[in-house]
């Protein structure tokens, strides 16, 4: 199976930032918002473009990035995974109560 860089924390963070459509996202804004280097974001965005997850448009000297429909679906799933991981495990809580 091909290694996927999509679910790594910084890469997922970049995609989740792009999910905020109230803002126009450039590569430098994504780098700043996610604490990632410009080069790292640029390489990741190039990979995402080749997979049909994002699309970019040149605006002057800035490259503006936005999610495609496939990208919005992917970020929805990533958000769901994070929500599941953040939930407390009811079985673990029950075991803690019975042993206390």
pLDDT score for 1: 37
Question: How far are the Cα atoms of 34, 85, 91 from residue 96, in angstroms, in the given order?
Answer: 36, 19, 9
Query: For the chain, which domains are there?
Result: 9-99 (1.10.10.10)
Report residues of the chain scoring pLDDT below 70. Answer: 1-6, 89-100
Q: Quote the pTM value.
A: 0.77
Q: What gap in Å lies between CA 47 and CA 99, rounded to an integer?
A: 49
Question: How far are the Cα atoms of 56, 57, 72, 81, 93 from residue 35, in angstroms, in the given order?
Answer: 21, 23, 22, 22, 34
């Amino acid at each position: 199976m091909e290694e996927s860089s999509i679910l790594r924390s910084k890469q997922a963070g970049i995609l989740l930032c792009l999910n905020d459509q109230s803002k126009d996202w450039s590569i430098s804004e994504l780098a700043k918002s996610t604490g990632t280097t410009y080069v790292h974001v640029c390489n990741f965005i190039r990979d995402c473009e080749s997979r049909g997850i994002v699309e970019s448009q040149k605006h002057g000297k800035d490259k503006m990035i936005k999610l495609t429909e496939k990208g919005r679906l992917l970020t929805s799933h990533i958000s769901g995974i994070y929500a599941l991981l953040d939930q407390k495990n009811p079985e673990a809580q029950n075991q803690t109560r019975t042993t206390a």
